[in-house]
Amino acid sequence: MGKAAECGYVVREENEIRRNLAAYLRRQETRDRLRFLAAGSVDDGKSTLIGRLLYDCRAIYEDQLGAVMQAGQLYGTTGGGFDPALLTDGLKAEREQGITIDVAYRYFSTAKRNFIICDAPGHEQYTRNMATGASRCSLAVILIDAANGVRPQTRRHSFICSLLGIRHFIIAVNKMDKVGYGERVFRAIKRDYENFAAKLTVHDISFIPISALKGDNVVDGSANMPWFRGAPLLAALEEISIGSDMNLIDFRLPVQYVLRRNADFRGFAGTVASGVLRRGDEIISLPSGRKTAINSLTVAGEECREAFASQAVVVTTADEIDISRGCMLARPDNLPTVDNFFDANLVWMGTSPGISGKNFILRLSSQTVPAEISRIRYRFEVNSLHRRKAGELMLNDIGRVEITAHRPVCFDCYSRNKPTGSFILIDPSTNGTVAAGMIIASSAETHFDRTAGKDPVSANISWEKSAVTAAARRQLFGHKPVTVWLTGLSGSGKSTLAQALELELTGRGIKAFILDGDNIRHGLNKDLGFSEADRTENIRRVAEVAKLMNSAGLLVIAAFISPFRKDRKHAEQIIGRDKFIEVYVKAGIAVCRQRDPKGLYGKAAAGKITGFTGIDSPYEVPVSPDIELDTEKNRAEDCVAQIMKYLGSLR
């Protein structure tokens, strides 16, 4: 958009405001909005560029412009003339030093789009400020001084923007006036940056030669660079498409607050993190796993039929189920991960080093839980993007770590869903934010890598394949080899169902065998106790045995309390999702106490057993089991019939 057209647009806006302010405000609300970051090394011209954009777009009030002209006499770098940088360098320290220290936000509009500019500091000392500002941007304008080329901080900012999931980069090669507007300089910088950017996960990169101080290729094209045929910066910002960046598939609503206006009203407030929600939709509350339906939706005080990502909503449900702050609402057939473990890329912002084993407060969406860095995998060398072994993370370091939360949290991978895949770590002793993280792997991958995913101790072994194929075994036995994994409290009926199911299967000629928790501990796992680590190892060994038995063509019935979701997920990872059938044997703790077939609840109550599941050790209910059997309401034969019906559908 040229300056004349831009001025005409400003006049039209002024006339519309005078005629109908309400209509003007409604149009502003519905207009597309782009939030972008201006980043780069110190003195590459970020503040000058933003000031030039605001000035040429007529987004500066007269009194503000007068103040800037006056400040230019004291702090300006243009010989007392107009210095665009002073429009955004708001702190006295910034004007005195000629650098940006804090993140500054500026707003302006054109006929096509509303803009929010995040002016990020360029100095390495303030990298954490830059990362904070970049976290909500859809596009990054990376400035490079034409006289200096690509510098380490340029690479650092680019890498952080890539980690933060910014998909669109505009590389503005600034101060072209200082190098005589030479095309050869521009092309050399473009090649240098492209060589570095090839290692990033960014595929939409464009290059524009500009002079922010003189205005070349900022709002209008430049007569000084006729060799450049591309659009100026403002036109590129207006035209870039960001609609596909928003996740409208995976519905997630982190609950932030429970509203009780009166005794008859119970609403759940939060901002839709992703996806679309409609009245009447079936939802599930996590981590409890209870299902219900949406009864009503309220947005901005008005009832509506649907809500979508970034809208603040209040929902009511058809059923009275336990939902509170920190819960997450999702769809039953599209669930986030619920786990204690995940891998993440971490930007360290604390002045004290980040070390493994130290306790922090993890804040992820509306969830706040104690957590720790259980392992630092490596640190990134920003210039080369090489991975270096590290025992700690220092200020502004970026590394890959494993996080262990002290109770399960709901999350997605950051690359798929930013709001539910990003988190911060807070130092509980100072209440200061010390790190920002992006989740890159779920618990199944992380936990598998920490245990069974490791290479065998001996390097002189190899896996021997059988000459009999899986297809031949299936044809021989006449059924698919799977593992039916029965999980539930002690006394819920797992062993009873396992025995009844085995009889039913063998009666039909199906080769089946039970792996029972007590039987396994008499031999294979007799060296293991009941600590959390031993329980995990117990389930891992059982899963490995089940996998081998499935490979032999047998149907395995595994009856184990297996109280932790991470262990069941790990078992699924070992056995294979296509062969793992999770069956939740459901019975309340009161009923299980009453049944107490082995007298264990009585011993636990007398203090003879510690760490007993359901008493002084937790049981984590499956979030979305393949089969749920309520043994309080249904007979054993009915439950077996339900499993048989499911197995029949697998043939």
pLDDT band of 394, cuts 50, 70, 90: very high
Count of alpha carbons within 13 Å of 520, Cβ hemisphere only?
24
Q: Is the pLDDT of residue 295 over 60?
A: yes
Which uninterrupted H or E stretch holds 114?
A: strand 114-119
Q: What is the DSSP string of 389-454?
A: --SEE-TT-EEEEEEEEEEEEEE--TTT-HHHHEEEEEETTTTEEEEEEEEEE-HHHHHHHHTTTS
Check whether the bond before 481 is cis (ω within 30° of 0).
Answer: no
Taking CB atoms within 8 Å and a gap of at least 24, the contacts of 255-263 are 255/323, 255/324, 255/325, 255/326, 255/327, 255/328, 255/329, 255/366, 256/325, 256/366, 257/325, 258/323, 258/324, 258/325, 259/314
- Residue ending a domain, among 195, 220, 245, is 245
Name every residue whose Cβ is closer than 8 Å to that of residue 431 and which is 6 or more positions away in sequence.
none
Average pLDDT on 374-393 reads: 86
Same domain, 47 and 186: yes
Considering the domain architecture, whether residues 317 and 378 belong to the same structural domain is answered as no
Considering the domain architecture, whether residues 94 and 196 belong to the same structural domain is answered as: yes
Q: Encoding tokens for residue 96?
A: 């005195």
pLDDT at 242: 77
* CA distance between the termini of the chain: 64
CA atoms lying within 13 Å on the CB side of residue 452: 23
DSSP 464: P
Residue 514: predicted pLDDT: 93
Indicate which CATH number applies to the domain containing 620: 3.40.50.300
Report pLDDT for 348: 92
Residue-level pLDDT at 199: 83
Does residue 453 lie in a domain region? no
Summarised one tens digit per residue, pLDDT across range 161-190 is 888 888 899 999 999 999 999 999 999 999
Residue type, 65: L
Contact of 398 with 380, CB cutoff 8 Å: yes
Please report whether residue 497 resides in a domain. Answer: yes
pLDDT at 46: 84
The structure tokens 């085995």 sit at 502
Domain tally, the chain: 4
pLDDT value at position 467?
72
What is the C-alpha separation between 625 and 589, in angstroms, rounded?
19
Higher-pLDDT residue of 83, 412: 412
**Boundary-marking domain end, from 277, 302, 330:** 330
pLDDT band at 6 (very low <50, low <70, confident <90, very high): very low
Which structural domain, as residue segments, surrounds residue 485? 474-648
Domain harbouring 284, CATH code: 2.40.30.10
Question: What CA–CA distance (Å, rounded) separates 354 from 397?
Answer: 10
Closest C-alpha to 122, from 148, 108, 136: 148
Q: Give the CA distances from residue 401 to residues 184, 393, 413, 614, in Å, rounded to whole numbers and listed in that order.
A: 42, 10, 14, 32
Specify whether the CB–CB gap between 565 and 338 falls below 8 A: yes
Q: Considering only CA atoms, which of 223, 220, 241 is closest in space to residue 231? A: 220
488: helix, coil or strand? coil
pLDDT at 284: 92
pLDDT digits (tens, 9 = 90+) for 532-559: 778 888 999 999 999 999 988 999 999 9
**Of 526 and 314, which is predicted with more confidence?**
314
Per the structure block, which two tokens stand in for 521?
């501990």
DSSP 463: P
Confidence of residue 447 (pLDDT cuts 50, 70, 90): very low
Say whether 78 sits in a helix, a strand or coil. coil
Same domain, 118 and 232: yes
Indicate the pTM of the whole model: 0.61
7 inside domain = no
The pLDDT assigned to 229 comes to 92
Q: Are residues 295 and 223 part of one domain? A: no
The proportion of the chain whose per-residue pLDDT surpasses 70, expressed as a percent, equals: 83
Classify the phi-psi angles of 382: left when phi > 0, otherwise alpha if psi is within -120 to 50, otherwise beta. alpha
C-alpha to C-alpha distance for 181 and 175, rounded to whole angstroms: 8
Contacting residues for 480 by C-beta, under 8 A, at least 6 apart:
474, 555, 579, 650, 651
139 in the same domain as 99: yes
User: Quick one: tokens of 202?
Assistant: 């960014």
**Cβ neighbours for 627, distance < 8 A, ≥ 6 positions apart:** 581, 582, 583, 584, 642, 643, 646
What is d(CA 138, CA 245) in angstroms, rounded to the nearest whole number?
Answer: 8
Quick one: pLDDT at residue 123? Answer: 64
User: In degrees, to the nearest 5, what angle opens at C-alpha 95 toward C-alphas 92 and 98?
Assistant: 140
Residue appearing with tokens 């107009």: 82
Higher-confidence position of 195 and 244: 195
159 pLDDT higher than 80: yes
Domain co-membership, 41 together with 106: yes
Residue 188 burial (CB < 10 Å; 0-12/13-18/19+)? Answer: middle
pLDDT in tens, 11-27: 556 666 667 777 666 66
Q: How far apart are CA 183 and CA 608, in angstroms?
A: 82
Together in a domain, 214 and 300: no
| 97 and 151 part of one domain | yes
Query: Is 367 a domain residue?
Result: yes
Q: How far apart are CA 482 and CA 467, in angstroms?
A: 21
Q: Please check the confidence at residue 452 and state whether its pLDDT lies above 60.
A: no
Question: 203 with 342, same domain?
Answer: no
Average pLDDT taken over every residue of the chain = 83
Q: Would 21 be classed as within a structural domain?
A: no
What value does the mean pLDDT take over residues 66-89? 56
**Three-class SS string for 12-36?**
HHHHHHHHCHHHHHHHHHHCCEEEE
Which structure tokens are listed for 513? 């065998």
Q: Which single residue is written with the structure tokens 């106490």?
A: 593
Query: Looking at residue 456, what DSSP letter applies?
Result: P
In a domain, 463, yes or no: no
Say yes or no to pLDDT of 591 above 70: yes
Is 535 within a domain? yes
**Cα distance between residue 44 and residue 528, in whole Å:** 61
* Residue ending a domain, choose from 227, 245, 263: 245
Instruction: Write out pLDDT tens, residues 304-337.
Output: 999 988 899 999 999 888 899 999 999 988 889 8
* Residue 562 falls inside a structural domain: yes
pLDDT confidence band for 85 (50 / 70 / 90): low
Residue linked to tokens 């792996």:
515
- Do 500 and 519 belong to one domain? yes
Q: How many CB atoms are located within 10 Å of the residue 241 CB?
A: 9
Contact predicate 264/273, CB 8 Å: no
Q: Are residues 103 and 154 in the same domain?
A: yes
**Residue 19, C-beta contacts closer than 8 angstroms, at least 6 positions apart:** none
The per-residue pLDDT for 462 is 56
